[in-house]
Amino acid sequence: MACNICVTCGTQYADAEHPPGHCEICEEERQFVGLDGQKWTTLDELRLTHRNRAEELEPGLTEFETEPRFGIGQRAYLLETPRGNVLWDCLALQDDTTTAYIRERRGLTAIAISHPHYYTTMVEWGEAFDVPIWLHEDDQQWVMRPDDRISFWSGEAQSLPGGLTLIRCGGHFEGGTVLHWPGGAGGRGALLTGDVIQVTPDRRSVSFMYSYPNYIPLNAAAVRRVVAAVEPFPFDRIYGAFRHMTILQGGMATVHRSAARYLRAISD
Ligand SMILES: [Zn+2]
Ligand SMILES: [Zn+2]
């Protein structure tokens, strides 16, 4: 028996004698099956071939990234607050080195994840630290390994310890969530956005897509809803899903400018 992990997206499935016939996350129109067809691995195999790089980006914020790249290749973050720490987003590789790094910094009080593409091995991380995993209930159908530690929240916002807020933006996924950290960027505030508000390679703008790999845009109403969701929360910095994809300052203005450009591009 093993919990199989999809090589293309990093999603871990529930314990089973045989790997699932297909990956529901990859076969859905927002993702894709790899060129070589559906491939599976396990956490034990992954631990032999990969490691997680850890780098402190500013006081209280460490990024983790798996090397060599695995799955979608996103970053996960350890966010430290005086009232407890949160793991934001998740990596498939849950290993002793990363666990020890987090324990040295007083462990975790919670895990929160932006959307199903980064659920990965969330249950392994939840077990390692014995903490709840906060997911928006509107994405419940995409949980491939159910667990008692998963706590589905509903509505538009959810407070976490340390003044953190989960904000439901929708868009990329119906329950698509970003995390507001008021202490980030030297107290000017930061948003951690996963793919829900995607920092683009010029690091001067963001985008909002239904599917990034398959280039499916959102409609105007969905883009306006994302902007309206984050507007009440002051932030200057935006940490996106991928390495170096960070808007260091002017985050709110960047969201407004990028949304206006997007709406022009998709209008008649
Ligand atoms: Zn997959
Ligand atoms: Zn995604």
* Digit-coded pLDDT (tens) for 216-238: 999 999 999 999 999 999 999 99
Of 241, 216, 222, nearest to 120 by C-alpha is: 241
User: Which ligand gives the minimal distance to the CA of 4?
Assistant: 1
Condensed to tens digits (0 to 9), the pLDDT of residues 134-190 reads 999 999 999 999 999 999 999 999 999 999 999 999 999 999 999 999 999 999 999
pLDDT-based confidence at 2, cuts 50/70/90? confident
Largest CA distance in the chain: 54
How many helical (H) and strand (E) elements, i.e. helices and strands, does the chain have?
Answer: 7, 19
CA of 38 from ligand 1 middle (Å) equals: 8
Nearest ligand atom owner, CA of 74: 2
Cα 65 to averaged position of ligand 1 atoms, centre (Å): 18
- 82 CA distance to ligand 2 middle (Å): 30
Ligand 2 centre distance from Cα of residue 115 (Å): 7
Q: How many angstroms separate the alpha carbon of residue 117 from the centre of ligand 2?
A: 5
Q: How far is the CA of 188 from the centre of ligand 1 (A)?
A: 37
Residue 241 alpha carbon to ligand 2 centre in Å: 9
pLDDT for position 150: 98
Distance 234 CA to ligand 1 centre (A): 35
| pLDDT at res. 89 | 98
What's the CA-to-centroid distance between 250 and ligand 1, angstroms? 35
CA 158 – CA 180 distance, rounded (Å): 10
1, with CB counted inside 10 A (0-12, 13-18, 19+), is exposed
Q: How far is the CA of 267 from the centre of ligand 1 (A)?
A: 33
pLDDT, position 223: 98
